[in-house]
Amino acid sequence: MGIASFASQVFVVLVGVGVLGRLALGAAISGAFIKPVSKKKKEARLQARDELWDLSVQPLPGFHHRFFQAADGVNLHYVEGGDTSSDSPLVVFVHGFPDSWFIWHHQLSSPSIQQKAHLIAVDLPGYGGSDAHAKASATAVLTSLASFIIAQKEQKTSERCILVTHDWGSVVGFRLAAEVGFLFERCIIMNAVHPALVVENATRATSSAARILRTYIRNPTNSALLRSAFYTLKPLLTRLRCSYYISAMLLPLPLARQMVKMGDCFFLRICRSMARFPNEETYLANVLGPSKASADGYPASVIARQDINRRADGMIAYYRDNLAFGRWDKPENIQLLCAAAETSAGFTGLVPKKEGSFGCPVTIVYGGRDSAFHRRFCYEGLEEYLPRGKGKSYLVCFPRAGHWPMVASPGRESVDMLMEGALDGVGSEELKERVERVDKDVIFEIEK
């Protein structure tokens, strides 16, 4: 191990321990370590979990629980409803940390969206009611999700498929849009970073700063060079500050688990508050998955997640196993589909595509009040990744929204309008008019 690698690991551990310490202090001040959970609250939590996860009842009016077994044996849980006829467009929702399919319940319950499409909300592997992979690698997770979407599309006569994602689901969404974009008519991707673009921006910033510092070493009296190096690195440093909490997920496993389990799920309850989710019991039911009483019929690994340590392991594995940046070794059937799509699109391989560029139109959304985001660093240079000649792509800011724009007003209505506009195939001007009807402050920053 090199000195730089060792130093960076030590730094991550120190920051991670600091994050846990700050969280523990907040939990202690709130009384989360000593205040017992009342019997009434325990019963309310169990009832909420049964309502969402009991396979014998509808999770939402008109929706049903389903399972899909991937070729690798992993079972994915999902709910489906809306217009399930074979010729209706397919809309697939993928949640993020620490949620499940239920985080989309506003969109799933919208009568106008239900009338327009076949709606499917799937639990990521290791979350909700889905099996966990032994390791949440790029190959494991992306193959499961891509296989699931391909299987759903094969049951339809309509080729139309729209992917709607959030947080870790959006990291998956960015990669699917780039590597198997031919599966989708459009991807609506919310509140996440595009891995390839982040690597490019980080590399550019550090390389430029290094050149400036080398010049400074030769001219040590020129303090302007130091300021220039700092301002070059500032977007990267700000981004690292925004995502400092990730360091706690990278600590040794017994410590990392505390992010999920500490102080009666104190961190998860903070997430509920940040999401402006109105009911704590229902939010925790969304996160914790089936209870022991409602787990009948779920995969064995889901039943085993009654143990809070196993539940935490499934969630934090996405931070620990290099899902965002790891190589996706596609199985043969997906490789063949990719080759067929490139041939039909006229791609000869003589002019290589920019790595990470999208293969379908995308609508990328971020909240102006998302404390885990830095707009300049995350999206500078985005235009280079947008597809050409396949329909317009957008970068959209919801100024009054935070990290969960699809949960609280006015973000959730704006998300609805973006979805309905995609399903109706409207042009950019009408799309903007629809969104501005529900929130006049929404900004279409990029349109290409």
pLDDT digits (tens, 9 = 90+) for 354-379: 889 999 999 999 999 998 787 888 89
- Strands of the sheet containing 362-367, edge to edge, are 64-69, 75-82, 118-122, 90-94, 161-166, 186-190, 362-367, 394-398, 443-447
Q: 65 has which bridge partners? A: 79
CB-CB neighbours of 65 under 10 Å: 20
- What's the whole-model pTM score? 0.95
| Cα angle for residues 273, 400, 405 (degrees, 5° grid) | 60
Q: What's the CA gap between 405 and 363, in Å, rounded?
A: 14
CB-CB neighbours of 223 under 10 Å: 10
Q: What's the CA gap between 275 and 409, in Å, rounded?
A: 11
Q: How far is CA 121 from the centre of its chain?
A: 13
Q: How many residues does the chain have?
A: 448
Percent of the chain whose predicted confidence (pLDDT) is above 90: 75
Domain boundaries, the chain: 1-193+245-347, 197-242, 362-448
| CA nearest to 168, candidates 235, 123, 203, 105 | 123
Q: What is the pLDDT of residue 189?
A: 98
Report the pLDDT averaged over residues 431-440. Answer: 96
First CA to last CA across the chain, in angstroms? 44
Q: What's the CA gap between 268 and 272, in Å, rounded?
A: 6
pLDDT tens track for 88-130: 999 999 999 999 999 999 999 999 999 999 999 999 999 999 9
- What CATH fold (topology level) applies to the domain 1-193+245-347? Rossmann fold (3.40.50)
Q: 3-state class of 234 per DSSP? A: helix
- Which ranges in 124-222 belong to alpha helices (H)? 138-154, 168-179, 195-218
Q: How far is CA 206 from the centre of its chain?
A: 26
Q: Which of 60-64, 227-231, 294-298 has the lowest mean pLDDT?
A: 227-231
* pLDDT band per the 50, 70, 90 thresholds, residue 304: confident
Q: What is the pLDDT of residue 351?
A: 53
pLDDT tens track for 35-88: 888 999 999 999 999 999 999 999 999 999 999 998 888 999 999 999 999 999
Report the pLDDT averaged over residues 260-271. Answer: 93
